[in-house]
A and B are shown apart, each in its own frame.
Chain A
Amino acid sequence: MSMTVPPPCPDRKEGIPTAAFRLLALIARTPDFPFLEADLREEHAFKARSQGHRKANAWLWRQVLASLPRFALQSFRWSLIMMKNALLVARRHLLRHKGFSALNILGLAGGLACCLLIGAWILDETSYDRFHQNADSIYRVESDTDFAGRILHIYWTPHPLGPTLESEIPEIAHSARAWNQGNPLIRYGESTTDAWTVWAVDPSFLTMFTFPLLKGDQARALDGATSVVLTERAARAVFGSEDPVGKRVEISGGGTFAVSGVLADIPQHSSIRFDFLIPYRALENAGRVSDKFNDNQTTTFVQLAEGSSAEAARAKIRDFIQTKIPKNGMTLDLLGLTRIRLHTWSGYEKKTAVQSLRLFILIAAFVLLIGCINFMNLSTARSALRAKEIGLRRTVGAGRSHIIRQFYGETAFYSFLALTLALAAVTLAFPAFNALTGKAMGWGTLGAGRMALGAVAVALVTALIAGSYPALVLSSFRPVQAIRGTLSRGGGGTLFRRILVVVQFALSAGLLVGTGVVARQMAFIQNTPLGWSREQVLAVKIPTEARPTVDFLKTELASRPGILAVGLSDQSPANTTWSSSGFGWEGMDPETKINITYITVDEGYVEALGIKVVEGRNFSADIASDRTDAVLVNETFAKMLGPGPVVGKRFDFWDQKGTIVGVLGDFHFQPLRNKIEPLAMHWRDADWTRFMVVRLGPDRASAVIAEIERVWKRRYPGFPLHFTFLDDDFAALYRTELQTASLFKIFSGLAGLVACLGLLGLAAHAAERRTREFAVRKVLGAPARHIVGLVCREFVVLIVIANVLAWPLSYLLMRGWLDRFAYRAGFTPLLFAATLGISLTVGLLTVAHQAWRAANTDPVRALKQE
């Protein structure tokens, strides 16, 4: 059917509301639209003559508006019919060009799978602590203390804070303190265990949070000073099949308790984890709870009164400590319960888990973008093949919007195929991904509905992005040229494709550099001299009961062959964190505010860890006063002590006088994330001991450990021996970073793979398009390697440009992550060179096969084909 439509008359003069027609055109899908418009014009003209313009216009608008619902309905039906047709054509294309379609779909599926995995991870991370009914009104109290301009942030608080806040601040309705007691020895009858974490809490803990009791009274279970509640899991392990209620257990450091309730096991998505809860009152009665406002030992949770805003409460508690201890310099803040998982941090610099989460959101977006670009590239590269189809469609009356919709539909079709693949891949990958991230994710735990919704949304967004360029470019073809095949093939399209390839490779090179940065940092952590030696050193945990006699154990072990040195300390050598500002020294500026990390040790500690003494001497067992008033400081601290020799300076710990006897070489007593802070060491009686550090000789380690176990069993029967190698403890500090490193490797590998799929497709297309050119070159005598070179050169240039662009990209990507570390390996030109090398090698390997095939096609056949 062919019809020529004469140009319409100018509308303005006639005064026809053309907006009404435009609106109608938007919705009405009838093939006879021009005649519909003409009908309306005719009747409008008639009405304008008989009733005046205004009425005619009003009539037209009414007609159009009244017609819209009907047309909308019909339009929907039409689009379904069109979609069916588009899908049919899409399917045919898919089957005719299996190779390209496979590349397309695999690329998209790779991107989608990454997105889904990272999405699942984020969903998992953000769903913590939401199961509490009062989740939105519970906050943890945190504090900031100003030390000479440096703000120390901690989430430990003084014991009396909670109850005082509750009684003095109207916005705070309830408070509950929770004091982690670690894993004390628990005795039930004859059996002992230290496998369970014990928290001392206020009775309100059970009513504020949603940790339901299976047995016992939720409101009163912890009212008695000798009550204890425990989780079902712990109850089964400790009491077996007996009914635990009423049973008596002895908890070291607390006394004897009677079980008053059994808690349901703590949900997986809880950042608050414990096994036993004992009443705070038990520790108060034992005299272990300080009533001072400057002793930060416990965690304080508060629940806001109904209708109170967190802002109002924050403003009121900010300077609350000031009202108890003037000039304290400590301010309080609130952190929402549901933010604890991702926004917890302590120290001088804000380093939270949400930072690495953001990094991975970026990575997911990158990989998906690479997959989308693949799709755009491949479909526009193949556009010449579709030109005739599009030309025909347009000739028989398809508007531009039809073509646009057709291609969006087609992309949606591809992206849902890819989604199916991606979902299968993700399902298969879950166990491995769980093992890597230490999670227990699955469709069930994440809420299959939410995941499905997210997956479909991501697939739609993908279709929208990936389909945009093909839809716009292909729909702009002029029908006549398209059918005649005189469409210009080079020009803008090629340039745009090249830009896309560059973007794609820049993204994957950026990820590759990121992987390198992470790997280098991890190697840096492993190889940095710490100032102490972590190899062949055991840390033995000392239970409270063993403390009084630990000196005998120490002496006994020190004399054994294969043991080089034994020392005691009150904190793990890999992570020493206790700090205080209660110090003074000779010549100290009284205005100085300084927070000093302190550690209580014995005379063997420095030697057992291999810490260097750079000035003065270590503690000595021969000098009796060393046990009470000798102090060792590190170099960082020594530099702050002002002029004059450091050794011999008077140094006060709280109200105890002391003298500095030696200066230790700086050593990393905290993870490399943190700067080396000023540190002081003193020697006290063994009562405070929590760790014994044992340096082993170079050989016979297993025999020596067996010997230690024997000695331990004889001295402390009933107490399990817990020991770790310090290098393992050290490695455990970087668990999240190691995770990041593995995830990075996986995702950048996938990104590279997806990018290569695209490159492969493009190279194949380029080789195909230039088959005749190559044949002519060969006839004229060009050797095969020239032709290979021709194909490769184009891509080499693109990859090099992409790598240069990847520099700033990777810097942006990694800066945030590297900022976590006070000590870092950072970037190096070598990293970029290696990335360039890898991307060139992989890129060329991808292209080379196609190039080789192009170069070895028989020129006669290539030229004959017409």
Chain B
Amino acid sequence: MASLPTFNEYMFLASILALGEEAYGVSIRDKAAQLSGQKVTYGCLYSHLDQLHRKGLVVKRMGKPTLERGGRSKIFYSVTAAGFKALKAFATVQKSIGAALPDLASDGQ
């Protein structure tokens, strides 16, 4: 089994997957913040995107330059097959760990 992604990697992978065709820097960051309920800095975002890319969990593709972005193009991310497996592995582990615990999430509510 491939080694598990870290939590942050998992978070960004999930965000990219959720965004589908529209996953680029700004949207990924928004999505990750929304999903995790935490603040996400660009430093965190880009260092993890680099890492995911190096591990072959995501691929990049160039978009068209837009005026809004100072004339720069967007770079879109999408999850690879390996990335999908990693996501799944993490989710499985999370589920099995969660099952071993008392129902923490509902306690507080």
Report yes or no: B26 in contact with A42, Cβ–Cβ below 8 A: yes
Report yes or no: B68 in contact with A74, Cβ–Cβ below 8 A: no
Q: Mark A30-72, 1 if CB is under 8 A from B, else 0.
A: 1110111111111101000000000000000001101111110
- With a cutoff of 8 Å between Cβ atoms, the chain B residues found around residue A7 in the complex are 71
A45 to B72, CA, bound (A): 13
Partner of B26, one of A11, A16, A43, A71: A43
- With a cutoff of 8 Å between Cβ atoms, the chain A residues found around residue B69 in the complex are 38-39, 41-42, 45
Report yes or no: B44 in contact with A67, Cβ–Cβ below 8 A: yes
Specify which of B47, B50, B69 lies most central, judged by the most chain A CB atoms within 10 Å of its CB. B69
Q: Mark B61-97, 1 if CB is under 8 A from A, else 0.
A: 0100111111111110000000000000000000000
CB of A830 closer than 8 Å to a CB of B: no
Partner of A32, one of B29, B44, B50: B50
Q: Interface SS of chain A: helix, strand, loop or mixed?
A: helix
Report yes or no: B71 in contact with A6, Cβ–Cβ below 8 A: yes
A63 to B71, CA, bound (A): 21
CB of B42 closer than 8 Å to a CB of A: yes
Report yes or no: A66 in contact with B43, Cβ–Cβ below 8 A: yes
CB of B49 closer than 8 Å to a CB of A: yes
Report yes or no: A35 in contact with B71, Cβ–Cβ below 8 A: no
Given A8-B71, A9-B71, A42-B69, A67 and B42 contact (CB-CB distance below 8 Å): yes
Residue on A nearest B49 in the bound complex, by CB = A32
Report yes or no: A5 in contact with B42, Cβ–Cβ below 8 A: no
A64 to B46, CA, bound (A): 12
CB of A185 closer than 8 Å to a CB of B: no
- With a cutoff of 8 Å between Cβ atoms, the chain B residues found around residue A8 in the complex are 70-72
Residue on A nearest B39 in the bound complex, by CB = A66
CB of B5 closer than 8 Å to a CB of A: no
CB of A3 closer than 8 Å to a CB of B: yes
A66 to B62, CA, bound (A): 27
A42 to B42, CA, bound (A): 13
Report yes or no: B44 in contact with A41, Cβ–Cβ below 8 A: no
A60 → chain B, closest Cβ, in Å?
Answer: 10
Given A66-B41, A67-B42, A74 and B50 contact (CB-CB distance below 8 Å): yes
Q: Which of B1-34 contact A (CB under 8 A)?
A: 24-26, 29
Report yes or no: A70 in contact with B43, Cβ–Cβ below 8 A: yes
Residue on B nearest A72 in the bound complex, by CB = B43
Specify which of B41, B65, B67, B71 lies most central, judged by the most chain A CB atoms within 10 Å of its CB. B41
- With a cutoff of 8 Å between Cβ atoms, the chain B residues found around residue A42 in the complex are 26, 66, 68-69
A643 → chain B, closest Cβ, in Å?
Answer: 94
Report yes or no: A39 in contact with B67, Cβ–Cβ below 8 A: no
Specify which of A16, A40, A42, A63 lies most central, judged by the most chain B CB atoms within 10 Å of its CB. A42
B19 → chain A, closest Cβ, in Å?
Answer: 14
CB of A601 closer than 8 Å to a CB of B: no
A96 to B35, CA, bound (A): 55
Report yes or no: B72 in contact with A70, Cβ–Cβ below 8 A: no
- With a cutoff of 8 Å between Cβ atoms, the chain A residues found around residue B24 in the complex are 35, 39
CB of A855 closer than 8 Å to a CB of B: no
Q: Which of A116-164 contact B (CB under 8 A)?
A: none
Q: Mark A13-34, 1 if CB is under 8 A from B, else 0.
A: 0101000000000001011101
Residue on A nearest B76 in the bound complex, by CB = A35
Report yes or no: A38 in contact with B72, Cβ–Cβ below 8 A: yes
Report yes or no: A3 in contact with B41, Cβ–Cβ below 8 A: no
A69 to B75, CA, bound (A): 24
Given A63-B41, A63-B42, A67-B41, A35 and B74 contact (CB-CB distance below 8 Å): yes
Q: Mark B43-64, 1 if CB is under 8 A from A, else 0.
A: 1101101100000000010100
Residues of chain A whose beta carbon lies under 8 Å from any beta carbon of chain B: 3, 5-9, 11, 14, 16, 28, 30-32, 34-43, 45, 63-64, 66-71, 73-74
Residues of chain B whose beta carbon lies under 8 Å from any beta carbon of chain A: 24-26, 29, 41-44, 46-47, 49-50, 60, 62, 65-75
19 inter-chain pairs at a CB distance below 8 angstroms, sorted by A residue, are A6-B72, A11-B70, A28-B46, A31-B50, A32-B46, A32-B50, A32-B75, A35-B24, A35-B25, A36-B25, A36-B42, A37-B70, A39-B26, A40-B42, A42-B26, A63-B42, A66-B41, A70-B44, A74-B50
**6 additional contacts (CB under 8 A) given A3-B62, A32-B46:** A14-B70, A32-B75, A36-B46, A41-B69, A41-B72, A66-B43
Q: Which 3 A-B pairs have the closest CB atoms?
A: A67-B43, A39-B25, A38-B72
